[in-house]
Amino acid sequence: MNLSISSLHPLKLMTLSWSIWLILFVLMPVSYGNVEYRVAGVITLLALLFCFALGVLFFDMLPKRPPTSVVRMSIESDIYKFVFYIILVAGCFGVLLKMYEHFILHGLLSQPSFFAYKLSRMQNQLNSGLIGVLSALTYPFGLVALMLNIKFQYLTGVVKKTAIWLIGCFWFFDAVFLSSLTTIMYLFAFLFITIILNNALNRDQFTHISWLKLLIGLMVVISYFIYLTFFRVDLDFIPIALEARALIPNFDIDSVFVFAIINFLHYLVHGVVEWFRLFNHVGLDVHYLGAYQFYPIVKIFSVFGLNIPSFLELAAVAHKTGVYTTFFGGFILDFGYYSFLAAFVLGVLSMSLYNGLFNASFVSYLVYPILAAQLLFSSIMNIFSGVVVYYLVSVLLSVVLLHTYKRHE
């Protein structure tokens, strides 16, 4: 299978995501209780998908403008190399703070397992204060630096390349520490998409991946999910877990391994089911105006003494917490009836960033991989309501830094 930039078209990614969901939903050997697939909910969800597609198609009708010098990058430019090192230092600083947060503040090594560490932080609501805010805002710069190095090879040699990959991919280690399969999955999707772009933009070639490699990758993900499940579930807990998820299997489940497989399929499918539960519960009347989806940014203001509601308080209006509600769950909580306009604008923005890939756009190169990963996971979750927002902030600050330095050069 040969992949190129055209393989990452917004509509192709969105179609792939929802097609996989439909296939799994039909084939899944369980049914869901306590959910009504109302006509209004079906129409609303299809309308949101349609508005996104309409936004993508609308962009093609707009007059195209050539990119400005602000967003164009040249490998020969020493300006970008200097700013690259500033970004890298910021990323290193953030990683050090994150390590201090995990190992010193919260005692990671004193826990019997990573999952126990995750439970400890959840149950005790451990907060890292100002250090947590600084680490969250700075360590994504390491990923920005990695992206730039993949494209321009500022750092060469095995030692330097290994170091920047470790710094840039600290999200992976952070996800392992917190037993977050979700973060691991979209980080790998993000990096894979980046490699496709790099091969197309720098080498003018396709990225070839065999179906065998895809199968091996899928097996690794499933194996890790099963590994996590064995920490949480035993035979006696299976009926409780099934009831909590409102899962009604077509056969008796008498094995943790079998339950883990069912649970993995549930992980991929339940976002749409929970979206209907959410819609049936709140309709289109709740408006947080972005505070729900971009809570990682909103909560920063609590450090300055502002009275910011907790995420649990914001999520209290939902049907239940701790579940995915597709990409569009946060839309209806934040924007209500304006969700359709938000979906349309997102479609225009997605196509704008995609189009920028063909015009050497610095912003598109850094932002589109994470947006493409979101579109790929759109039938499951909204990844922008998590730490991904901090990466987008680091990209924005990097653009400002590049623009400012170039203007004064």
Query: pLDDT of 264-283, one tens digit each?
Result: 899 899 999 999 998 998 88
- Quick check: 20 pLDDT over 50? yes
Cβ–Cβ < 8 Å for 91, 168: yes
Which residues form the domain of 200?
2-408
Question: Which residue has 């917004």 as its token pair?
Answer: 10
Distance CA 257, CA 222 (A): 11
All residues at 6 or more sequence positions from 105 whose CB lies less than 8 Å from its CB, including other chains: 126, 128, 131
- Quick check: 261 pLDDT over 80? yes
More confident residue, 94 or 121: 94
Tokens, residue 104: 């010193």
Cβ–Cβ < 8 Å for 385, 298: no
Cα-to-chain-centroid distance, residue 386: 7
Q: Say what the pLDDT of residue 75 is.
A: 45
Q: Say what the pLDDT of residue 98 is.
A: 87
Per-position b or e across 23-42, b if 16+ CB within 10 A of its CB: eebeebebebeebeeeeebe
Predicted confidence band of residue 356 (pLDDT cuts 50, 70, 90): confident
Q: Say what the pLDDT of residue 307 is.
A: 64
Q: Say what the pLDDT of residue 305 is.
A: 62
Mean pLDDT of 167-181: 81
- Quick check: 107 pLDDT over 50? yes
Select from 226, 233, 238, 213 the least CA-distant residue to 264.
226
pTM: 0.86
- Quick check: 161 pLDDT over 60? yes
Return phi, psi of residue 2, to 5°: -100, 130
- Quick check: 72 pLDDT over 50? no
All residues at 6 or more sequence positions from 211 whose CB lies less than 8 Å from its CB, including other chains: 1
Mean pLDDT of 176-200: 81
Distance CA 303, CA 121 (A): 19
Mean pLDDT of 201-224: 76
Give the total number of structural domains in the chain.
Answer: 1
Q: Work out whether strand 247-249 and strand 2-3 pair parallel, antiparallel, or are unpaired.
A: unpaired
Cα angle 109-113-118, degrees, rounded to a multiple of 5: 90
Tens-digit pLDDT profile for residues 120-129: 766 555 566 6
